[in-house]
Each structure stands twice: as structure tokens, then as C-alpha cells.
Amino acid sequence: MVDSSFFTHPRLDWQRRYEALRASFVERLPAHIVADRFGYTTSYIHLLRHQFKHGKLDFAEPPAEGTTRRRRVNAELRQKIRTWRERRLSAAEITELLVEDGVELSVRTVERVLSEEGFAKLPRRTRLKIGRTVQGAEIPEKSQQKPTHELEGQRFDSPAAGVFLFAPFLAQLRFPQIVAAARLPGSRQIPALNYLLSFLALKLLGTERYAHVGEHGFDPGLGLFAGLNVLPKCTAMSSYAYSLDDVHLQRLQEAFIRQAIHTGLYQGSIINLDFHTVPHFGDESVLDRHWAGARGKVMKGALTLFAQDAQSKLLLYSQADIQRAESDDQILAFMDFWSKVWRGVRPTLVFDSRFTTYANLSKLNEAGIKFITLRRRGSRLLKDVQGITQWKRIHIPHGKRKYPNPLVHETTIHLRGYEGPLRQIIMKDNGREAPSFLISNDTDLEVELLVGNYARRWRVENSIAEAVSFFSLNALSSPILIKVHFDVVMTMVADTLYTMLARKLRGFEECDAHKLFRHFVKGKGTIEVQNGNVTVVFPRRAHNPILRSVPWKNLPNALPASNDTALT
């Protein structure tokens, strides 16, 4: 029976909204009373009032409950919708195209027409799959191998064309053979060589973090350098780095150092050793706390070891993620590595006082390995120095040394844990407040040369500083994680390539990577593929005459990812 309850307690949604507005505007009831009477919230009543005042509510004759008004779609529009669906466009995309043609149809109407025409719904796709990110920007292509012949006749600009300056040196080092000897894993789409060249390209460009690889994701020049269409995305590169274990990285280092020795890059007579802590500011508890000399404090991080050829200043060994209990024995692990890659050569090792124990120094002496290091000095040693009256002034032949003429006093000592005598040289007037105590098992070397060899240990510290500042070695906290040891090995390779380039540049032989990048590597260029040859043309710059004076004809001219493609 229909009575007054039809108006006071309406069941239909449109009528309930109508009666709520009538009570609000005609009866002038407060919003909270109207909301309580009709089962709404107070905020919804305010929304209804706003929509009604601005003409956004239509109380024309509503359709019957359970039915909707259907928009009639003529045959011409149906044909358009059919054609666009055959191109695998979604209902939302078809709606946008109709709006561009001046036809306004809702997405549901388009979906209804597609259903009536016999089309099934498309499988759900992410915005990445349809070529758009959340912000609507384009994304790079999926990375995969791309032979050079597929680029025949193409000409394009590359913002990072300077990486091709290193291609002759990679060919000179036979980098593909190095990767093959390391037996690194790869995938069908991206083999190991292309992965390593992708990492190396970012290192050579001084990219701050691998998370910034997206900045180079559209550069076909970098893809050509790596033998791909474009560089792999961040997640792929991170996953590949963590797929390499210590055995892979050890084989990679051995193959690279053997080839560098064969090329004549190292002398190997004096080797500087030093630790470096790659700091980490995350919450992971698996990392030990180590001394960070650059920050002057103990902090959580990954302890890494670097070995440097003193004459060439090239890094020739690295180890990473060293536990605190393992640090003292790293010098023995290095000698095992050295005996594999360069047999018959026994270098003189130079390192700091807390690098290893006196017992390990005794093992080096038994193996016939010479070393130069500092003695751990205490208050008693410093007090004994005051009683020494016989000092000898020497000259250290280093051109840039601020204190080239220190005073020295030489004695023979015995230390607990070390079997046999040691040569001790006390040195003062060397720019430090307290005297230094050098110890060595080399009794034949002249005192000037022994002090000078230790004085050049700062070169490895400079190399580490350059690795941190330019090659972004301290990027352990990067959002896109890279295995520390792999990052260190790639830093060593990039440092070698920059040194090889510097040796060919007249007047820039001793420059660091920062300066070489700024003057020669940084900048765009034009790349053209014609008749199987790749030609890279750089725009006019002040230092182009120096590049032209390099004897490129005497260097291999093949791309590192394709030996059958000439580079000019």
C-alpha cells in the first residue's frame, strides 16, 4: 500500500537524493538531521547541495530501476570501433580517438559495442607494456642484441659518443677474449660481453649511480658500443651483477691482468697496497664496521682492497666485502693471485702499518717477498728517539715533494711474531710532527730509494680517491644495488682504459680521469653506419687537434662488441 512513507522513507536512490535536498532547501533542516533521516553522511549532504546549486544534478524523468539508457551507435561509428580494436587498442584508447574526431562516447558504451560485435576483452596490460609510464612518458625499448648490419645506412646523434674513444684500447686488450676466458654467465637476449660493455660504458661516463642508467636508455650510440639496441634497464643490470660470484670475478680479474701484462701496461717491481671502506648507511646488519680514513671514524661498510703498480699507477688487483677477521690475511691472498698471473716476478710490497700482522710479514720473508711498511709506534718508541744523536740527511728525488730532504737514522731490530732481523729507518723533518718508523726486510736497497718507494704509496690513495669521486665507488647505498666486488672490478678496468687514452694524448699523459672526461670524452657526436663501417664524428672543440694527432691507424679499429665492424 502506498502511503506517506513513500515520501518520508524513499527506496529509490534518485528519489532519496531528491527528498534529502527538498528537506534541506524547503524545510531548512540542518545537514546532520537530513543525513540522519535519509541514511547519508553530513559531508555527502553538503556535496549534494553544491552539485544542485551548480546544476550538476539532473532530476528529469529517470529510467526504470535496473535499466540504463543506452546511447545509440550508428554503423559508421561501429566500423571505426571495429577497426581500432583490430589494431589491439583498448576501449579507453578508442574513446580518446573518438573524442579527437568530435564524438563523445563513454568507455562503457564502447565496451558494449565491442561485446555486441563479438570482440573479447583484451588481457590486462600495464602501462609499461603499452609504452607509457605512470607519468605518460615514453620508455626505452627492450634491450637485446643488435648486429651492426641492421643499422646499415643509418645516421644518428649520440649524447655520449665519447665512449668510442676507448674502443681501440678495448680491442688492444682483447676484451672479448677476456670475457670468454672468465666464463661469465649471460642470457640469450644479452650475452655476458654485452652486459659488461654496458656496465663499462656507464663507468667511462662517470655516471654517478647505476640508477641513472635511465638517462642513457634512449641513446642508440651507447647501445651500439655495447652491441645492443639500447642499454639494459636498471633491474636487469643489478640482477646480473648479483648473479656473479667470487669465482667469476676472480677469473675475470686474472684474465684481464694477464692480458694487461702481455700488453706491457705494468712493471710489477713495486706494488702499493691499501684498504678502503665503501660506506653504507642502510639498516643491514651483515656489514662489519671498519675504519674509514677519509671520514676519520669507524663506520659500517664494505671493506675493499686495492693493489696498484707504483710505476704506472694502474690498479691491478681488487677484493671486496672483506670481513674484519679476514683483513690481516689479504696480503697472502694477493700473493696467491700474483703467483698465478705473473710467475717469476717477485714484487716489493708497500703498505701501511695496520695492513697485516708481523706473523704474516714473517711468511712473506720466508717466501722471498720484499716489503716496506711502517712500524706501529707508541710512546716508548717516541721517547727513545729523543736520545738519538746520529742523523743523516738524505734527498728524495720527487719533483713535487714538499719536504725532499728528511733526516734518517738506520738500525736493525727484532719484533715479536717476526722471525729474524728487520731493517728500521727512523725519519723526521718530513712534514709530520712525530717521527716515522719504516721497517723492511730489504737490506740491500739504498736508504734514499727505500724511503722514496714508501713515499710514493700516496699514489694508491690518489687512485682510490679518483675511483670514489669520478667512478662513483662509494655508491653502495644506490637505490639500484650493484655487487660491490663487481663494481670494483669494473672501476679497475675503466681506470686502465683512461690511463691508456691519456698516454696517447700529447700533454695530457699524467692527467686524471676528471680532466680527460671534461676535455675529450664528454659531449655529443654523430654516428653513421655505412658499408659495414662505423664512423664517429665529433663537433669542433678546442682539444680536437690533440685527438687528431693520436696515431689511431696504429691501434685496432674494431668495435669491442663486433670484431668484423671497423671504427673510424
> pLDDT: is 309 or 301 the higher one?
309
Separation between Cα atoms, residue 452 and residue 450, nearest integer Å? 5
Ranges of beta strands (E only) in 485-542 are 525-530, 533-537
Can you tell me the distance from the alpha carbon of 177 to that of 501, in angstroms, rounded to the nearest whole number?
Answer: 21
Give the model's pLDDT for residue 242: 86
Higher pLDDT, 214 or 61: 214
List of residues 6+ apart from 127 with CB closer than 8 A = 133, 134
Longest dimension (CA), the chain: 125
Confirm if 46 and 35 have CB atoms less than 8 A apart: no
What pLDDT does 267 receive?
A: 85
Q: Is the pLDDT of residue 287 over 80?
A: no
Q: Express each pLDDT in 532-557 by its tens digit.
A: 888 888 888 888 889 888 888 888 88
What is the side-by-side order of every strand in the sheet holding 533-537?
155-158, 525-530, 533-537, 562-567, 558-559
- What Å distances lie between residue 448 and 395, 408, 427, CA to CA? 7, 10, 11
Has residue 300 got a pLDDT over 80? no
| Cell, residue 121 | 576483452
Using the predicted structure, report yes or no on whether residue 1 has a pLDDT greater than 60.
no
Task: Give φ, ψ of 475 to 5 degrees.
Answer: -90, 35
548 membership: H or E segment, kind and range = helix 544-548
Which of helix, strand or coil describes residue 533? Answer: strand
Asked whether 337 and 319 are in contact (CB, 8 A), the reply is no
Instruction: For residues 231-237, give the mean pLDDT.
Output: 83
Q: What is the pLDDT of residue 477?
A: 45
Determine what percent of the chain is predicted with pLDDT higher than 70.
Answer: 88
Q: Provide the pLDDT for residue 61.
A: 53
Mean pLDDT of 225-245: 86
Given a contact cutoff of 8 angstroms between Cβ atoms, the answer to whether 314 and 491 are in contact is no
Instruction: Give the pLDDT score at 479.
Output: 43
Indicate the pTM of the whole model. 0.73
Q: How do residues 93-138 score in pLDDT, each as one tens digit?
A: 888 888 888 888 888 888 888 888 888 888 776 655 565 555 555 5
Tens-digit pLDDT profile for residues 488-502: 898 899 999 999 999
pLDDT in tens, 444-503: 889 888 888 888 888 887 887 777 777 777 554 444 457 888 888 988 999 999 999 999
Cell triple for 140: 626505452
Percentage of residues of the chain with pLDDT beyond 90: 17
Tell me what pLDDT residue 184 has: 92
- Predicted confidence (pLDDT) at residue 181 exceeds the cutoff of 90: yes
How high is the pLDDT of residue 163? 92
Element (H, E) at 111: helix 107-116
